[in-house]
Structure 1
C-alpha cells in the first residue's frame, strides 16, 4: 500500500495532505469527485461506478491513489499496466482500459497507463494533480517499467477547430501561443507528446481527440 504525508500550498499557506492508496471505504467520495470534476457535456456514464473501483483496488492496487485532505479524498488517479508498442500507438481509451474496468491489466506489462486523474474543483489550486502524477512516476520507477503513458484530453480544441487542425492546435500549445487546461498541465508535470489520437474518447470539447503523452523511466534503458 502506498502512503506519504506532505504539505501542499494554498497560496503561501502550507496545508497537510496524505497521498495514499484508495480503498473500498473511499468509493462514495471518489464517485463524487468524478461527478464534480467532469460535469456535462462530459458523459455521465463515464463516471466511476463501484464495480470499476473494486477492480482498481483488487487487480492493481499500486495504480489506485488518492489525496486525502480535511479527512476525505479530494483527488484521485488510477492506472493499469499494459504492453505498449510505440510502432502501433493508435488506440481508444475504452480499448486500452477496458472501459475503465481494467480487466486487461497485464502484471508483466512494460507501461504504466493512466486511466484517469481528477480533483475536486475547490482543491485544484493546490497542485494536487501534479503531486499525484509525480507519485505515479515513483510507481514507474519502483516497478521498473519503461514509461508512464496516457491520453490527454484537448478541451480547448473546440474553440479553434474551425480554423485549426488538431496538429496545429497542439503545436500552438507547445509553442506557448495557446494554453490548454489539460495538455499544458501535463507538460508541466513532465509529460512529452507521442502522437495525436483521433476518436480516443467521446468528448465534445476535444472533438474526440487526445494527445498521447509519456514520461520515460530515467533509470530504464531500452
Structure 2
C-alpha cells in the first residue's frame, strides 16, 4: 500500500541547484561502474532473503565506501537486529530510467524480497521527456512483478532544480506519487530530504552525500524498509 506522504521538502533554488550536477558521474569509466554495481555482501549465493537497491550514483554511494552508503547502512542495521536479509547494491553512476530498464534482468536472476527503486534524477537533469521517464519507471515495476509477484516494492521520489523551467520541474516531481499510486507501491516522497543543498552533508562536488549525508538518507529510508519487513 502507498505510504502516507510526510509532505515534500520545500527546497530553496540554491538547494535544488546543488543537485544539478547529479548526472556528472555518467561519464565514469566502465570499470568504476562495475565496482559500484556490486553486492554489499560477498556471499552471492545465500538462503537469506534479498533486499535489492536499484538506482544511480546516489544508491551506489559515489565517492565513499559502499558500506557507508545508505544501502550498506541498511545491511548493518539488519545485522544488528539479527534480521536474516542480504542487501544488494544495484546502483550505477549516471544511470537513467531507460538504462535501468535495460539492465534490470541481470539483477532479477534471484528473487528480491524487497525492491527499492531509485531512478529518474538523471532523466530530469537531462531534460528527457517526462512521459518517457514515467513509462520507464512503470515498466521496471511491471517487470519485477511479472517475474516475482510477491516482491515488495518501494519507490524513492526525487526532485530536480528548475533548470528546465518551473513547469517541467513541478511535473517531474509529480511523476513519483503518480507512479506509486498507479502501481500501488510504497513511496518515499524525497530521498534526499534534509541532505540536498547542505555543504556539510555533501562531498566537495556539492552533489553526492558524504558518509554523514548517507546516514541521514538511511534514516529517511529505513522506516519504509522496516515497515515492509
Interval of TM-score (by shorter of Structure 1 and Structure 2): 0.3 to 0.5
Task: Give the structure with the larger helix fraction.
Answer: 2
If asked which structure has higher relative contact order (CA below 8 Å, sep 6+), I would say 2
TM-score by length of 1: 0.36
